[in-house]
Structure 1
Amino acid sequence: MSNQTEPSYSQWSALTAMTRAGFRAIFANPIAIVFSIIFPIIFVLIFSAFGTGRGTVYKIALLPGSDTVNAVYRALQKNPSVQLVEFSDSAQLEKELIKGRLTGALLLASTPSPNTGAGSIRVQFFSTTASGPTIAPFLDLLDYIRLRQQAASQPDTSVSIDRPVIREVRKYRPIDFVLPGQLGFSILFSTLFGIAFTFFGLREQGVLKRFFATPVHRINILIGIGISRISFQLLSVMILLLFGHWVLDFTLQQGWISVLHIVSFTIMMLLLLMGVGLIFSSIAKTDATIPLLINLFALPQLLLSGTFFSVEAFPLWLQRICDMLPLKQFNDAIRKISFEGLGWLDCGKEFGILLIWMLLVYGLLSRLLRWE
């Protein structure tokens, strides 16, 4: 009897076949393209149109050493169009000025007169070109307060306003905040729904069981599904980035280097979301349960991760909760990379929190993953 050797089975061929099948499943569903690319572009256009003007409220930082008992300060404090704030951290104040979140900063100095007891008030105003639309109206308001104090309530008080100091900085546009949030919004829901329903469908329809009768390794099934989903989401991210940069002037401080850093962070976030989607597909008893699980995970992050609006207006205790969410770290990292020109090493906090989430998710997945 002659010895017959079994033909070798190429795991690489199996992996590429699974990947191609995943791509076909994605592009066969037009809804995936709508939610991954078209919807985020629509949201970018809508939200980037907001915030181009700041209305009638002027947010003014009061610099340390300012006199808070003189007539100018009291007039500003009573004016409903002025919001006075103080910063204990000069670096945070500088950051707010550069991003145009403040109209400017004021230094109020009073010099009492030994003869009349009234004296003089010196007003110094500092701002950046990022706050351009609100500077002139506020200076007009400041001059009105000066004239009113001298002509009416305080005729013996001299109020002088120094020439404003306006520094030239890189313009921080609404799109620089909106687009990173839309990237997070796009990959969050598309990846969770795509992975969860795909794996759930393969299991419930018996496709996975039929794969087990072949020499295909189980890990290649997951890798094939993952590669197709990650590649599609990276394509949508690139389209959003290029659309934002060329059409809406989205800032990419380091050019293609910034794009590469954004792509690398996106891959990490996609791997994390892929694990979450597999967990949901494993614990769901019916396909109707999957959207509920996804919404329980995704909606709080959508509201608390700076996707559509900054979380800085939240109470401090809520901001600390926000900092624990993976989408918040992803959004922050993309904004730092794109606008500030930072890299991986400068986003250590964001990378560390995402890594902790990945370890927790895949540790849980190793116990919960159901193949049958």
Structure 2
Amino acid sequence: MSNKVSQVKAAFTISKYSLLATLKSPTSVVFSLLFPIIFIVVFGAMVGDKLPAMKIAIAPGSDTSGAVYKAISSVPLLTLQQPGSPAQMKEDLERGRISAIMNIEALNAGTALPHYLVHIQTSAASAANARLLKTLVNEALNQLNSKAFPNNPAIATLSAEELPGRAYHSIDFILPGQLGFSLLMAGVYGSSYLLFSLRQNLVLRRLRVAPLRRRSIIAGEMLSRLFFHIISFIIMVLLGYYAFRFTLVNGLDTFIEMLLFSLLGLFIFMGIGFIISGMVQNENAISPIANTVVLPQILLCGLFFPVENYPLWLQHFCNLLPLTFFVDGLRKIAFDGRHIWELSRQLAGLLVWTLLILPLSIRSFKWE
């Protein structure tokens, strides 16, 4: 009996210390607990029974007090925006930022039963949503007629036109995200593992004897990553352009501006890698820490699906992450035709992150 008791006690003792060892292991905690929680929160918040709402700009002068506007605004998949300037709305429509411009006009206002003309403008950039939009508006008008005015002629007439505009292909969204993904992975993982390896193998210790400053070593590492990034960038953009019709609005000029804009992202992500390499004491700790930094940005920064798909409270956080600023800037340069100096919000965000990361990366640099 005593032998059985001792065996049970030994089993519990082993399980106790094994559990403590597991909890003290960063790899076990991150991969077994933290990552699943992040996946559950992100995809649970994003995935639901509803499709993403289509943004509809209401034209200035539209009747927004009548029954027709109320019926259309009650459609769950439609988000009606307040009127803006005609030029801005047209630009948003041509570049796919909104699905349509809607004008609701009361033809015989002041009568007991006015007749409305609902006019919808779409563009080639939002062609994928045009048919669904017409169906939803027609259904809303038919329900209004059948419920409120069953014995009268149709209360509204729907008309539609398509404005010329660039077709927005899925590659126009995906490729900038993959450029950001590539830069993030190369900057964070590549720099952290390389610097740690140089320190562990005493290479940095030998370099310390030479008349070199830390900034020189960091600059050299950044240059090597820059050359690698340029090669990767050229391959991915050319593949997207020739194989999948990726949009480069101004051709070679757009390509060069995208490449120059990538430098800010490179500095930030490499700086994060330097900080991680200075924090860890052994190579096994690099991956969990790097994953903790990288994975949330992969999920939250619009690489694979729009940030607008998330709840509003989560969007505010997503829009503060450096990869979001970077990917948004690339998309605006490539498809919208913006110049770098026109990206005030994206530039400001990346510059703030650069000012935060670079001093920390230099300070965390260790020779041995």
Contact 1:63/1:86 (8 A) holds in 2:
no
Task: Report deviation, 1:238.
Answer: 1.2
Match of 1:86 among 81, 84, 94: 81
How well do the aligned residues superpose, as a CA RMSD in angstroms?
A: 3.2
Partner of 1:177: 173
Moved more, 214-223 or 264-273: 214-223
Aligned to 2:124: 129
Match of 2:278 in 1: 282
Matched, 1:305 2:301: yes
Kindly state the Cα deviation for residue 60 of structure 1 after the two structures are TM-superposed.
4.1
Q: Residues 369, 194 of structure 1: CA spacing in aligned structure 2 closer, same or farther, 3 A cutoff?
A: same
Taking the aligned partners of 1:281 and 1:228, their CA distance within structure 2 comes to: 17
Separation of aligned partners in 1, 2:182 and 2:163: 36
2:41 alignment counterpart: none
| 1:1-372 matched pairs, under 5 angstroms | 60-67=56-63, 70=66, 72-73=68-69, 76=72, 82-90=77-85, 93-94=89-90, 96-100=92-96, 102-110=98-106, 117-136=112-131, 138-139=133-134, 142=137, 153-161=149-157, 163-214=159-210, 219-372=215-368
TM normalised by structure 1 equals: 0.73
Counterpart of 1:297, as a letter, is V
Q: Is the 8 A contact 1:189 1:298 kept in 2?
A: yes
Stretch moving more, 140-149 or 314-323: 140-149
The answer to which of 335-344 and 99-108 deviates more is 99-108
Q: What amino acid is aligned across from residue 179 of structure 1 in structure 2?
A: L
How many residue pairs are counted as aligned between the two chains? 317
Give the TM-score of the pair, scaled to structure 2. Answer: 0.74
Shift of 1:187: 0.7
SS across alignment from 2:152? coil
Residue ranges of structure 2 left out of the alignment (5+ in a row): 1-49
Distance 2:105 2:239 in 1: 48
C-alpha contact 1:119 1:157 (8 A) present in aligned 2? no
| Residues 57-77 of structure 1: per-residue CA shift (max 9 Å, x gap) | 765444455445655445545
Secondary structure of the residue aligned to 1:85 is: strand
The structural deviation recorded for 1:303 is: 2.6
Q: Distance in 2 between matches of 1:167 and 1:113?
A: 28
Deviation string, structure 1 residues 316-340 (Cα, Å, up to 9, x no partner) = 5544433332211111111111112
Contact 1:199 1:278 in 2 (8 A): yes
State the SS of the aligned residue for 1:166.
strand
Distance 1:355 1:58 in 2: 32
SS in 1 for 2:283: coil
Work out whether residues 75 and 136 of structure 2, in 8 Å CA contact, stay in contact via their aligned partners in 1: no
After superposition, the Cα gap between the structure-2 partners of 1:77 and 1:241, relative to the gap in structure 1 and judged at 3 Å, is same
Deviations, residues 208-258 of structure 1 (Å, cap 9, x unaligned): 223334556654443333222221122111111111111111111111111
Change (3 A) 1:97 1:369: same
